[in-house]
Amino acid sequence: MSRPAELFPLFAELETLEGVGPKLAKLFLSLGVEKPKDLLFLLPHSGVDRARKASVRDVVPPCTVTVEVEVANHMPPRTKGKPYRINVRDSLLEFQLVFFHARGDYLTKLLPTGQRRLISGKVELFDGIAQMVHPDHVLRVEEAGELPPFEPVYPLSAGITQKQVAKAVAATLTRAPVLPEWIDGPLLAREGWPDWATAMARVHAPKAQADLSPTDPARVRLAYDELFAHQLTLSLARAALRRGKGQVTRGTGALQRKVLASLPYQPTGAQTRAVAEISLDMENPLRMNRLLQGDVGSGKTLVAFLSLLVAVEGGGQGVMMAPTEILARQHHEGLEPLAAAAGVRLELLTGRDKGADRVAKLADLAAGRIDILVGTHAVFQKDVHFHDLRLAVVDEQHRFGVAQRMELGAKGQATDTLVMTATPIPRSLALASYGDMDVSVLDEKPAGRKPIRTALVSTARMDEVVAHLRQALVEGRQAYWVCPLVEDSEVLDYASAEARFAHLRAALGDRVGMVHGQMPPADKDAAMARFVAGQTQVLVATTVIEVGVNVPNASIMVVERAETFGLAQLHQLRGRVGRGTAESTCLLMYQAPLTDSGERRLKVLRDTEDGFRIAEEDLSMRGAGDLIGTAQSGLPRFRVADLERQGALMAIAQSDARRLLADDPALQSLRGRAARMLLWLLEQDRAIRLLSVG
Q: What's the confidence (pLDDT) of residue 181?
A: 96
Which DSSP category does 30 fall into?
G
Vertex 327 angle, CA 349 and 605, to 5°: 165
| Per-residue model confidence as pLDDT tens digits over 550-596 | 777 889 999 988 888 877 778 888 888 877 777 899 999 998 888 88
How many independent structural domains does the chain possess?
4
Percent of residues in the chain assigned helix, strand, coil, to nearest 5:
45, 20, 35
In a domain, 273, yes or no: yes
Distance CA 689, CA 694 (A): 8
Report the pLDDT value the prediction gives residue 65, as an integer from 0 to 100. 94
- Decide if 115 is inside a domain: yes
261 CB neighbour count, 10 Å cutoff: 8
pLDDT of residue 694 exceeding 50: no
Q: What is the CATH number of the domain that holds 110?
A: 2.40.50.140
The dihedral built from the CA positions of residue 54, 56, 61 and 64, taken in this order, carries a sign that is positive
Three-state secondary structure call for residue 430: helix
Task: Give the separation between CA 409 and CA 310, rounded to whole angstroms.
Answer: 21
Asked if the structure places residue 294 within a domain, the reply is yes
Count of CA atoms in the C-beta half-sphere (13 A) of 529: 10
Give the pLDDT of residue 428.
64
Q: Is 578 within a domain?
A: yes
Confidence grade of residue 485 (pLDDT, cut at 50, 70, 90): low
Question: Per residue in 305-357, pLDDT tens?
Answer: 999 999 999 999 999 988 778 788 888 988 999 999 999 999 999 888 888 99
Residues 263 and 138 in one domain: no
Same-domain check for residues 319 and 406 = yes
Residue 545 pLDDT > 80: no
Residue-level pLDDT at 329: 86
Structural domain ending residue among the three candidates 608, 641, 666: 608
Which conformational region is residue 253 in: left (phi greater than 0), alpha (psi within -120 to 50 degrees), or beta? left
Q: Of the candidates 120, 147, 174, which is a domain's last residue? A: 147
Pairing of strands 584-590, 554-559: parallel
Same domain membership, residue 175 and residue 115: no
Question: Using CA atoms, how far apart are residues 68 and 82, in angstroms rounded to an integer?
Answer: 26
Regarding whether 538 and 489 lie in a shared domain, the answer is: yes
Nearest to 150 by CA among 127, 183, 120, 180: 120
Does 643 map to a domain? no
Alpha carbons 56 and 679: distance in angstroms, whole number: 50
- Give the per-residue pLDDT at 496: 72
| Collapsed DSSP state (helix, strand, coil) of residue 400 | coil
Binning pLDDT at 50, 70 and 90, where does residue 412 land? Answer: very low
Selected residue with higher pLDDT from 414 and 548: 414
- Residue 413's pLDDT is 60
Residue 353: CB atoms within 10 Å: 16
Does residue 652 fall inside a structural domain? no
Q: What is the pLDDT of residue 544?
A: 56
pLDDT tens, position by position, 223-275? 999 999 989 988 887 777 666 667 889 999 999 999 999 988 889 999 999 99
Q: Do 21 and 123 have their domain in common?
A: no
Residues 27, 31, 37, 43: is their CA dihedral positive or negative? negative
Residue 634 phi/psi, 5-degree rounding, is 70, 15
pLDDT given for residue 619 in this prediction: 66
pLDDT (0 to 100) of residue 486: 45
Are residues 497 and 552 located together in one domain of the fold? yes
487, pLDDT greater than 80: no
Do 207 and 179 share a structural domain? yes
Question: Both ends of the chain: CA-CA distance in Å?
Answer: 12
Yes or no: say if 561 and 435 are a contact pair by the CB < 8 Å rule.
Answer: no
The answer on pLDDT for 625 being more than 70 is no
Report if residue 640 sits inside a domain: no
| Better-scored residue on pLDDT, 78 or 581 | 78
The secondary element (H helix, E strand) that includes residue 333 is helix 325-342
Among residues 552, 574, 608, which one ends one of the domains? 608
Query: Contact at 8 Å (CB) between 227 and 183?
Result: no
Predicted local confidence at residue 406, as pLDDT = 53
420-430 confidence digits (pLDDT tens): 887 777 666 67
The one-character DSSP state at 131 is: E
**Predicted confidence band at 399 (pLDDT cuts at 50, 70, 90)?**
low
Query: For residue 334, what are the CA distances in angstroms to 278, 330, 551, 620?
Result: 21, 6, 11, 36
State whether 266 and 410 are in the same domain: yes
Spell out the residues 6+ positions from residue 219 whose beta carbon is closer than 8 angstroms to its own. Answer: 43, 199, 203, 212, 213, 640
Average model confidence (pLDDT) across the chain: 84
Banded model confidence at residue 657, pLDDT cuts 50, 70, 90 = very high
Q: Is 422:572 a contact under the CB 8 Å cutoff? A: yes
Q: Nearest-5° angle of CA 466, CA 471, CA 476?
A: 120
Q: What is the CATH number of the domain that holds 366?
A: 3.40.50.300
pLDDT the model gives residue 3: 87
Claim to verify: residue 60 and residue 105 sit in the same structural domain: yes
296 phi/psi in degrees, rounded to 5:
-50, 130
521 with 565, same domain: the answer is: yes
pLDDT per position as a tens digit, 25-49: 988 988 889 999 999 999 998 888 8
Kindly state whether residue 235 falls inside one of the protein's structural domains: no
Q: Which has more confidence, 643 or 454?
A: 454
Model confidence pLDDT, tens digit, residues 95-142? 999 998 888 889 999 999 999 999 999 999 988 889 999 999 999 988
What pTM did the predictor assign? Answer: 0.65
| Shared-domain flag, residues 348 and 304 | yes
What pLDDT is stored for residue 322 in this prediction?
84
pLDDT for residue 651? 86
How many CB atoms are located within 10 Å of the residue 150 CB? 16
* pLDDT 10s digits, 130-147: 999 999 999 998 888 888
- For 233-292, the DSSP string reads HHHHHHHHHHHSB-------SHHHHHHHHH-SSPPPHHHHHHHHHHHHHHHSSBPPEEEE
Confidence category of residue 546, pLDDT binned at 50, 70, 90: very low
Q: Is the same domain home to 198 and 276?
A: no
pLDDT at res. 627: 38
- Domain boundaries, position 561: 452-608
pLDDT of residue 493: 36
Could you tell me the maximum CA-CA distance found in the chain, to the nearest angstrom? 102
pLDDT band at 405 (very low <50, low <70, confident <90, very high): low
